[in-house]
Every structure is written in structure tokens, then in C-alpha cells.
Structure 1
Amino acid sequence: GALAGCTGQGLPGDDAFAALAADLKDNQAKGTAYELAKSLNARLPGARSQLLKTVRKLENADGQAALDAVKSVPFWSAPTTWPAIRSGTNSLTSFYLLSALDLRWNADGGVERVPPEQAIFIQVFLRTFFVAASVTLATLILAFPLAYLIANVPKGLAAILIVAVLLPFWTSILVRTAAWTVLLQKFGLVNDFLLLIGVTSDRLDLMYSRIGLIIAMTHIQLPFTLLPIYSVMRTIPPSQMKAAYSLGARPFTAFRRIYIPQVFPGVMAGCMLTFILCLGYYITPALIGGASDQLISNFIANYVNVELNWEMAAALSFILLVFTLALFGIFARVLGLDRLKLV
């Protein structure tokens, strides 16, 4: 009705302001003004206080007085206010997807970046990808030589090592994370060990830090990277490398040209599995990471459980899902699903 002529360019007419005044008075009478203010505040930061201020001005105002009361609040004459109101009347809206990418509709109906002080989600996504990539690289550095060792020792010793690798699976991720909260304390065992071997002369603040988070996640994710690599390594006959040596190949050349290409599917599968799992980590960043180390899953949980803003949580989850599917598609394209070796 009154918003039909509001296209996002300029301010609407008095009919829209009168309809706004009537809606605000109606919501106040029903006791839903606060919920309305909270909903609009999700679209326009600062709108909650302005809407409630307007509601107070409308308590004893009717007709022209109500119209003047609304117009007396500068917020309702701002160029970004009415496009945000109109977006809330549509059954389908791109508002939350744009917000999840730190974008918004401007007064001219185009898309623009939000002010730097309001931009948070791109930084959180980049932080999530960085932590996931760091953990993936760390687990690969540890998993490859360990998998090679297990694949080339006698079967009895290999069985013991495999049990040691699988041992963390016998406890929940919460228990393992809680254990790291003890180990990483300033007077914990990790700091004691670093002082003992002379790596540092002072105790480090590992708790609530990025490095502490990566250490804990690396330990938790190590089996997920190691097992696919080991499953490929154990199928490679040792005679292949011996044949390469007998034909004059240097050890490094034989390893690079014969062994690595065969292990590559397992490496890619393990890295992909670890990276994707790290994208959805919640409990470990919540307990070990600092305020600047929370990943996108922590924000999704906050919007679901605290803010009760399921729309924003869904938008963030959708973007994360699209990225994960795109990553899987790239892996499948480069390597081929038939070559992936998970177990």
C-alpha cells in the first residue's frame, strides 16, 4: 500500500510516513514494538533506539501530530532507512546474503560495501580459511613421515603405531580440547617443555591465541590426514623403489618421480578432509581461541542461540556450504573422484 511507491530512490510521500506511524502505534498496542525494533536493527545498525524513540513520541499523537512526530526523527529521512524497510516486506530478500558478504543496498538501488567499522564477515571468513589452511599444512607435515614410517616398519610395530594414531578417537573432541586448555596454560606442560629444551626464556601466552588454537586443532585433525595417506602408502610395493635404485635413479629422484605420484591421491584426500572439517570447527575455537580467533561457525552458533537471528545464521551457513562444495568440485576436477583414497 503506502510502500508501493518506495523504489529505493528518494523519500516516499506522506502516505508512507502516515502508514509508518499507524504501524508503530499498532505494534506498541500489541506489545511487539521491541521485536520490530530488533528486526529493523538487524538491517540497519542503530535503528532500534530510533524506532523506540519514535514510539514514545507517538504515545499521545494522532493524525497530523503523529505524522509530524515521525518526520521529527531524522532517522526516518535518511536515504538508507526506507530501502531497508521495504526489503523487510518481501517474501524473498537478498539482505542477509549481502550482509554476510559485508554488502548492502544503497539509496540508489545498487550494491555497495558497508562502512569499514561494520564490516566483519569477510574478515571472519578469511580467518577461518587461514586457520583451516594452517592446520591442514601442519597435519600434512606431521602425517606424511609418520605414515611412511608406519607403512615401512614390521607389521607388529605398525599395528602398535596405528593404535596410537587411532587412540584420540576413543575420546570426544570436547575432552581433547579440554585437555589442551590445561596443557597450553602459562604454567602448563607445553611451556614447561619449551623452557626445558631452551626454545624460549620466558613463558608464552598460548591460551586464547592463534598459535594455541592451531596446535590443538592440528592434534585433533592429524588422524584425518594421516589415515588416507597411509592407506595409499601400504599398497605401494617396496620393490618399485628398489627397481628404481637398481636402474641408477638417485633416492630423491626415485622418491619424487615414482613414490610421490602414487601417494598424491591419498595426500589430496587427507588434506581435503582436514580442510573441510576445519571450516566447521566450533568448540575448539570457543575454548582455546581468543576474541580475534573465533571462526565462522562460532558466529553462526551465536546468531542461532543468542541473537536468535536465524536468517543471518542461514546466510552464513549457505555461503560456507557453497565454498565447501566449490572446493570439493575443484578437488574432483583436478584429481578425479575415482582416484581419491580416503581409507
Structure 2
Amino acid sequence: MTDTTGPILAADGTPLKRKLMQAMFRTRARALGLVLPLIAFIAAFFIVPIVAFLFQSVHDDTYASRMPRSTAAVAKWDGTSPPTEEMAAALVADLVDARKNKTIGQVATRVNRELPGTRSLFTSTARKAKKMKPPYMEALVKKDREWGDIAVWQAIKVAAKEYTPAYLAAAVDAKYNADGSIVAQDENRRIHIKLFGRTLEISLLVTIFCLILGYPVAYLLSTLPVRTSNLLLILVLLPFWTSLLVRTTAWIALLQAEGVINDLLVVFGVTTDDQRFSLIYNKTGTLIAMTHILLPFMILPLYSVMKTIPPSYVRAARSMGATGWTAFWRVYVPQTIPGVGAGAILVFILAIGYYITPALVGGQEGQMISNIIDFHMRKSLNWNLAAALGLFLLIFTLMCFWLYDRIVGIDNMKLG
């Protein structure tokens, strides 16, 4: 009798299961080879730069690499006892080298971030450091009494750490002390939490306004004849053919005190000439301009979903005795939820990182967290704090995305 319990063999005697696995492996390898250039491109030009930039939120060797002696000296100091002569001698030696190497400006700027006002202290002391004689602590205090203030040395100790949570703490309006504690920032320096809150508020309001305005437009486009809806759809897509800067500037012309909208309100008697509405360079201007700019991103997902809903469902509900409103609310709207979800998350994610439009029309009241990131990147050149703010903005965005998934569900999101 023949044994039929063994593995099925191919013509060459190899088990058929192994042959199948080899064929599948070759297919997957070819597929991976096709997408490998894309993966390498994304990793090299997207993931690596972002990770490298965000890494700066916890890494800053500006002081440690340029002032090695004082870095080693303050590392032994507890941060509360009086500064030692060893620390003073190391600092003077480093100041001499920093001035010679023309890096004293970078060092002074780094310490100044921890204790405002110390930049001039460092630069002026560096000019005299070469002539100082022991005891160095007395020489430093003689040059400037601020060297006797323990707060200056605590700032040096914090700045000397190559890996530090100081920028992460500053991003949430806190302060990292020399003893390792994190405390709340002074009241007059707390701006980031307020900006994060304003960013969330504006993003949510823009999303709601886009939904209120975009839903009826998408419904109209989906119910009109194809020829008419295509013509109207061109009007929806028209803003994409216009520069963002041009669209934003147009709103400045419309909303300013002497603009078109205020002129019309005066003509129709809604307001008087000396009591014109303030519609620009505030939160109102930011909301209006961003709603207009992001409205197509809400209309298009809604339209693509509404176009697939058979009108017979609503007719069937009406034939069974439902009113027009009941049929619309109980039958039609639930089927558009995937489009609502796609449009809402798309508009919200885009709004939360906007900075050009708020910078142009927002004034002081309409600024968002992205504007302060731009400020630190281009003006204050504090890239470490900008990276910390960017990291928290990324975490904040991912948390909102996770919350959306828990409440609505990513599976319920459709783009068509």
C-alpha cells in the first residue's frame, strides 16, 4: 500500500509548499524593489530631516563644545553652594579661548536664553579675561558684580548640559533649574500654552465653519445635473489656481476699515462711517480668511461621498411616510459621515499648522503657534525652542488624530 500522508512534491521532488513560498518571496522582493527608491527618498528627504530637527529640542552643545573647562567644572557643582575658584578659573580660561576663536557671541547667546541680560556680561568680560590674575573669582566680581550672583552660575550650569529638557520645558511655559527641578515660568513670560489653546480654538472654529458652508454646497453639486455641477465644481477648484498670497491679500483689501465690506455696511446703514467694524488684523480676520482658503478641502470629500449615495434611499423613506427633514436627517446624513470625517480631519490638520495667513491678517490677536515657531526659526534663531514647539505641535496633532479615531473611527473616513 502506498503512503499518502507525506508532503505533496513538485516535478523536481521539492515539496510544493516550499516551491510556493519561494515564488511568493520572489514576488514580494520584486515589489519591494519597485518601491525601494520611494522609501529611500522619503527617508532621506522627509523622515531624517524631521527627526534631526526635532532632536535639537533636547540637544544643544553650543556651550559644552566651546567652553569645555567650565562645562566640566560646573558639572561637579551642586548648583546651590557658592561658586568655587575652580569654576572661576575654568571660566576665565574658556572666555580667553572663546574670544580668540570668535565664538564668544554664540556662548553668550546660549546663556542669555537661560538668564536674559547675561549676553553683555559675557562679551564684556571676555574682552578683559586675558588680563585677569588669580584669584579669578575676585577678578570676575571686580570686573562686574553680577558674577557674584549665583543665578548667573546656575544659568551656566543649565546651558552647559549637552542634553537638556530646558527647551521642552520652555515650550510649555516652564523653566528648568540648575538643581534639575522644573517650575512654572514667570507670569509675564507665559505665552506658549496660550498660543496652543488659541491654535486649537481657531482650528476647530475653521473646521466647523467650513462644514457649515461646505455641506450645502457639496449637496447642491451632487444633486444638480452633471453639466451644471461640473461648471460649478470649476468655481470650487478655482482657488487652487490662485496663489495663496494673492487670496490672503485680497481679504486684506476687503476687510480693512476702509475696505469694500465696511463701505457696503456704511452704505446700507448697518454702521456709521466713524464706527466701522474691525474685521482685519485680529482673530476675526484669521477665521474669515482661513475658512475661505480651506473650504475646498471640505467640499471635495463631501461631494465625492454624496455623489455615491443613491437618491432612491431618500425617496423610499418619503414613500414610507417620513417628512423631508426626517428623511434627510435619518437616512441621508448618516451616509455622508465618512465624507464629513475626511473633510473635517483634512481641514483641521491643515489649519493647525497654518502660519502665512495668520501672519498676514491675524495681527497680535490672531497669531497661532506656527507663527512663534517661524519667529524662532527666522528671527531669534532659537532653533532648539522652535524644534521643541514643533515636537509638541506634532504630538498635539497625533493626539487629535487618535481622539478622532476613538470617537468617529478612521474606517468611517472616505475620500470617495
TM-score by length of 1: 0.91
Contact 1:57/1:69, CA 8 A, preserved across alignment? no
Q: Report the equivalent of 1:32.
A: 103
Q: Report the equivalent of 1:68.
A: 138
Structure 2 CA distance, aligned partners of 1:117 and 1:47? 19
Query: How do residues 1-343 of structure 1 correspond to structure 2 at under 5 angstroms?
Result: 1-55=72-126, 58=129, 60-64=131-135, 66-71=136-141, 73=144, 75-78=146-149, 80-201=151-272, 202-343=275-416
Structure 1 CA distance, aligned partners of 2:307 and 2:271? 39
3-state DSSP class of the match of 2:175? strand
Structure 1 CA distance, aligned partners of 2:269 and 2:225? 35
Cα gap change, 1:166/1:262 in structure 2, threshold over 3 Å: closer, same or farther? Answer: same
Structure 1 CA distance, aligned partners of 2:221 and 2:384? 48
Aligned-residue offset at 1:57: 5.7
Q: Could you tell which deviates more after superposition, 196-205 or 150-159?
A: 196-205
Letter in 2 for 1:96: Y
Q: Report the equivalent of 2:47.
A: none
Structure 2 CA distance, aligned partners of 1:9 and 1:263? 63
Cα gap change, 1:156/1:23 in structure 2, threshold over 3 Å: closer, same or farther? Answer: same
% identity of equivalent residues: 45
Letter in 2 for 1:264: I
Contact 1:21/1:67, CA 8 A, preserved across alignment? no
Cα gap change, 1:232/1:29 in structure 2, threshold over 3 Å: closer, same or farther? Answer: same
Q: How many residues align?
A: 342
Which ranges of structure 1 fall in alignment gaps of 5 or more residues? none
Q: Could you tell which deviates more after superposition, 132-141 or 254-263?
A: 254-263
Which ranges of structure 2 fall in alignment gaps of 5 or more residues? 1-71
Q: Could you tell which deviates more after superposition, 124-133 or 214-223?
A: 124-133
Contact 2:89/2:137, CA 8 A, preserved across alignment? yes
Aligned-residue offset at 1:83: 4.0
Aligned-residue offset at 1:250: 3.0
3-state DSSP class of the match of 1:293? coil
Aligned-residue offset at 1:114: 0.5
Q: What are the Cα deviations for residues 103-155 of structure 1, in whole angstroms up to 9, with x where unaligned?
A: 11235421111101111111121122222122111111111111112122222
3-state DSSP class of the match of 2:183? strand
Cα gap change, 1:101/1:80 in structure 2, threshold over 3 Å: closer, same or farther? Answer: farther
Q: What are the Cα deviations for residues 260-301 of structure 1, in whole angstroms up to 9, with x where unaligned?
A: 221112112211111111112121112112123222222222
Contact 1:25/1:59, CA 8 A, preserved across alignment? yes
Cα gap change, 1:240/1:113 in structure 2, threshold over 3 Å: closer, same or farther? Answer: same
Letter in 2 for 1:131: I
Structure 1 CA distance, aligned partners of 2:383 and 2:268? 50
Q: Could you tell which deviates more after superposition, 15-24 or 79-88?
A: 79-88
Cα gap change, 1:116/1:242 in structure 2, threshold over 3 Å: closer, same or farther? Answer: same
Contact 1:83/1:105, CA 8 A, preserved across alignment? no
Cα gap change, 1:271/1:77 in structure 2, threshold over 3 Å: closer, same or farther? Answer: farther
3-state DSSP class of the match of 1:104? strand
Cα gap change, 1:67/1:48 in structure 2, threshold over 3 Å: closer, same or farther? Answer: same
Aligned-residue offset at 1:10: 3.7
Structure 1 CA distance, aligned partners of 2:288 and 2:366? 13
Contact 2:337/2:413, CA 8 A, preserved across alignment? no
TM-score by length of 2: 0.76
Q: Which runs of 4+ in 1 moved over 6 A?
A: none
Q: What are the Cα deviations for residues 213-238 of structure 1, in whole angstroms up to 9, with x where unaligned?
A: 21111110100111111211121112
Rg larger in 1 or in 2? 2
Structure 2 CA distance, aligned partners of 1:253 and 1:79? 72
Contact 1:303/1:312, CA 8 A, preserved across alignment? yes
3-state DSSP class of the match of 2:75? coil
Letter in 2 for 1:68: E
Structure 2 CA distance, aligned partners of 1:75 and 1:94? 26
Aligned-residue offset at 1:159: 1.3
Q: What are the Cα deviations for residues 59-116 of structure 1, in whole angstroms up to 9, with x where unaligned?
A: 632211x321334555445454444323333332211111111111235421111101
Contact 2:239/2:293, CA 8 A, preserved across alignment? yes
